[in-house]
A and B are shown apart, each in its own frame.
Chain A
Amino acid sequence: MRRKFQLGERVRVRDATTLFHTRTQAFTRGRTGVVVENRPEWVIPEDEAWGRDDGRTEPFYVVRFRQRDLWPDYTGFDVDTLETEVSERWLEPAGKEQR
């Protein structure tokens, strides 16, 4: 499967609510970060939860967020970040930074 996102690309986590099992944390939804690493193509958790071994696979990425972008009232320092893995379906392009 061709990867939709490149290393260094800014991405936004889709702000979707879901009734399905997911591992995409609520606090990252709607937030923008940068793709810093590729991960293999894995079965997405939305299918895995049903015990399907033949679930849909898709590329995963490591996305790095600035803490300030996750938590507007973050009490640490500007340099602080958080990384987490996200499946491709949860990401959309975020375009160039506008600040």
Chain B
Amino acid sequence: MSANRYEVLDAAIDQGDSEPVSGLPQLDRPPSPWETSMQATCDCLSWRGALDALERRQAEDELGETLYAESPVHARSTLVAAHLLMDRGVITPDELQAKMAEVRARLEKA
């Protein structure tokens, strides 16, 4: 597993939506639609054998408390799945960058 952060993920990390919470019960919020969609993506990746769910979960623990510690827990699946897929060369940082720009443009137009 790569020990370095992928720069392409910085845009997401730097938006700083991690608010300090005083305790566990305060860390409770309804999931956004994209979180549910990400969960489905993770299920599909595992189901079809591209990225095992347990492996991803363990990487989330490891990277979530180091490289991506500043991001909220609910965003870890997204960051770590992207990280692992890039580690494995399944997707490249460049194509992710390009795809993110494309998605951003689409959302801005909407």
Residue-wise, chain A 65-97 has the 8 Å CB interface mask toward B (1 for contact) of: 000000000000000000000000000000000
* CB neighbors of A among B11-25 (8 A): none
Cβ of A51 within 8 Å of any chain B Cβ, yes or no, is yes
Is B49 within 8 A of A49, CB to CB?
Answer: no
Report the minimum CB–CB distance from B94 to chain A (whole Å).
29
Q: Please give, as numbers and ranges, the residues of chain A lying within 8 Å of B52 by CB-CB distance.
A: 49, 51
- Interface SS majority for chain B: loop
Is A51 within 8 A of B54, CB to CB?
Answer: no
How many residues belonging to B are interface residues under a CB distance threshold of 8 Å?
3
Residue-wise, chain A 15-49 has the 8 Å CB interface mask toward B (1 for contact) of: 00000000000000000000000000000000001
A49 to B49, CA, bound (A): 11
A19 to B49, CA, bound (A): 22
A88 to B54, CA, bound (A): 22
* CB neighbors of A among B21-57 (8 A): 49, 52, 54
Q: Which A residue sits closest to B54, measured CB to CB?
A: A49
Q: Which A residue sits closest to B55, measured CB to CB?
A: A49
Q: Please give, as numbers and ranges, the residues of chain A lying within 8 Å of B49 by CB-CB distance.
A: 51
